[in-house]
Amino acid sequence: MKRHFRKCLQLDGGEVAKAVIEKATLLLIARRCLRSHGDIFSKTTFYPNLFIDLFWLKYTNADHLCHDHQPAGDLRSSAGREDASWTSPAPPVRHFTASKPTNNKDMLRISVRWMVAVLPILVVGGSLFFCEYLIYFPAILECAWPKLSHARGGEDPTPVRAMVLSDTHLLGAVGGHWFDKLRREWQMERAFQTALWLLRPEIVFILGDIFDEGKWSSQKHWEDDVRRFHRMFRHSTDTELVVLVGNHDIGFHYEMDWFKLQRFEKVFNASSTRIVTKKGVNFLLVNSVALHGDGCPICQSVEKELMKLSRDLDCSLQSSQSTSGEADGCEGSQILPPTPPIMLQHYPLYRVSDAGCTGLDAAPPEERELRFREKYDVLSKEASQKLLQWFKPRLILSGHTHSGCEVLHDNKYPEISVPSFNWRNRNNPSFILASVSPSSYTLSKCFLPEESTVIGVYCTAGACLLLLFLAPYLWMKGLVQCLSLLGKHKSL
């Protein structure tokens, strides 16, 4: 150090000032580069002392700035005037070996490496866990069973808690891509199982179109579809699952036959047209696919069964109002709770369009004005009037349109169209929660997570991963810029 200052003293004032300024500037730039990039590069998978070695290989003569400003030989004569014993030293030889890091540096380097390795796993795993499992909980936790208002003359008994969904459309072997099938079935399974666990309904109704290809699937494919359905919609013995028939299960009217209908009824161990009674509440299940009124064999059978059920209900109402407890002409009729039924079916009753439908789950505005076709989109006027006259239901629940809607028929019969439960059919699936007693009912709607939200989370996670992979490149670019600054300054 003493020799270094002696050399600098041999220069005149301007050269000394220039040397000091250059030396200080180089040290400041080097310090800034080391702070910004040197430590980062020493903690990644690159060569630990890459920045330090590059810096000293290019600028090792920065410690001899003063020596570079005077010719060789003058140093000895000028230095001899102050110290005759001083001799010019040989140029130093610098060996470039990585210094042994301290324990703190080792620990920090290991921790950074672990962070770089674990962070992408956390981003991918966290987004998958949230989008495929956790996201259903906050959505369904916002739902609650609606409370019944007290009936006149006393309180109703404990109401039936019914969960109603529609149009699950399990993809088949013909038109369903394997990834689409896997994705949609997982979404419906997680949503249904989460709803069962959090809400614990007593009875669940699915309003038809259980399968997407039931109308043309072979026996082998049908059995596979049924197996997947039972896996997805598994439930405990405390919950009753009731399934209605839809046009995709047995075909439209011109595709329907006895084989397909009986195959469906055998799987679910019940007739497609019947009354289910629970806690004094009558739920009327209608095979609306067979209500074309053209005299086909299945249509005649279904209409005959509906007329019998209508008679049973009328006799039960008359018996409850009769002082003797018996009604004339009702011998052999089934005794049912004397309350108007809640009617459930796949096809909606006749309406012109969805023009009057509103809400988050209504059809898109450009589709609401489209006119419905009778016997295809909705039931015919004649079939709709027959059902209303036979049963006088206090509520109708239907599906098929994949969108929500509320309609009042004849100014006294309310109908609710239940949206599809499948994300393939809409961005925001939903289902109905119904609290039903023999004399009243209350409904609420429960929305599932939107598909656009899930896509947004995955896109955000992908952007984070891209930044993580590009970070080393960005750091290297900053290092090159620092070295370029040093090179320009040295050339000056």
Share of the chain above pLDDT 90, in %: 48
pLDDT for residue 100 is more than 80 = no
Gap between the Cα atoms of 369 and 6, Å rounded? 96
- Per residue in 350-360, pLDDT (tens digit) is 999 999 999 99
Could you read off the pLDDT of 27-45 as tens digits, one per residue? 555 555 555 554 444 444 4
What band does 244 get if pLDDT is binned at 50, 70 and 90? very high
Which carries the bigger pLDDT value, residue 77 or residue 162?
162
- Which band of pLDDT confidence, cut at 50, 70 and 90, is reported for residue 321? confident
The residue that leads in pLDDT, 454 or 94, is 454
Residue 132 confidence (pLDDT): 87
Average pLDDT over residues 141-166: 82
Confidence of residue 22 (pLDDT cuts 50, 70, 90): low
Cα angle 475, 480, 473 (rounded to 5 degrees) comes to 30
Least confident of 88-92, 179-183, 402-406, 447-451: 88-92
pTM metric for this prediction? 0.74
Look up residue 210 and give its DSSP letter. -
Average pLDDT of the chain is 79
With tokens 């984070």, the residue in question is 464
Name the band, by pLDDT with cuts 50, 70 and 90, for residue 242.
very high
Q: Return d(Cα 302, Cα 304) in angstroms, integer.
A: 5
Cite the DSSP H helix spans in 200-296. Answer: 219-232, 247-250, 258-268
Confidence check: pLDDT of 83 > 50:
no
Decide if 435 contacts 148 (C-beta within 8 A). Answer: yes
pLDDT at residue 129, as a whole number:
87
**Residue 338 scores a pLDDT above 50:** yes
Task: Give the range among 60-74, 87-101, 169-183, 465-479 with minimum mean pLDDT.
Answer: 60-74
Q: What is the mean pLDDT of residues 4-16?
A: 50
Q: What is the pLDDT of residue 21?
A: 58
The pLDDT value recorded for residue 24 is 58
pLDDT tens sequence across 162-172: 999 999 999 98
Mean pLDDT of 184-213: 95
Q: Does 334 score more than 70 pLDDT?
A: yes
287 pLDDT band, cuts 50/70/90, is very high
Confidence check: pLDDT of 231 > 60: yes
CA–CA distance, 257 with 83 (Å, rounded to integer): 119
Predicted pLDDT of residue 465:
82
Over the stretch 115-146, which tens digit does the pLDDT of each residue have?
A: 667 777 888 888 888 888 899 999 999 999 99
pLDDT at 267 over 80: yes
2-6, 204-208, 232-236, 447-451: range with lowest mean pLDDT: 2-6
- What is the pLDDT at residue 438? 92
pLDDT of 316 over the 80 cut: yes
Query: Which pLDDT score is estimated for 432?
Result: 97
Q: What is the pLDDT of residues 245-260, one digit of tens each?
A: 999 999 988 889 999 9
Name the one residue in this structure whose structure tokens are 């011998």.
331
Q: What integer is the mean pLDDT of 56-66?
A: 44
Rounded distance, CA 225 to CA 14, Å?
92
Q: How confident is the model at residue 349 (pLDDT cuts 50, 70, 90)?
A: very high
Q: How far is CA 181 from CA 136, 178, 414, 453, in A?
A: 19, 5, 35, 20
Measured at the CA of 105, the angle between CA 103 and CA 111, to 5 degrees, comes to 105
CB of 382 within 8 A of CB of 293?
Answer: yes
Q: 381-391 and 297-321 helices cross at what angle (nearest 10)?
A: 30
Given a cut of 50, whether residue 74 has pLDDT beyond it is no
CB 274 within 8 A of CB 310: no
Buried/exposed code over 20-40 (b: 16+ C-beta within 10 A; e: otherwise): eebeeebeebbeebbeebbeb
Backbone angles phi, psi at 209, to 5 degrees: 55, 50
Q: Which residue has the higher pLDDT, 75 or 377?
A: 377
Number of neighbours of residue 185 by Cβ within 10 angstroms: 19
C-alpha span between 288 and 296 (Å, rounded):
14
Q: Does the pLDDT value for residue 68 go beyond 50?
A: no
Which tokens is 301 given? 């059978």
| Location of structure tokens 């309609």 | 407
Give the pLDDT band (50/70/90) at residue 186. Answer: very high
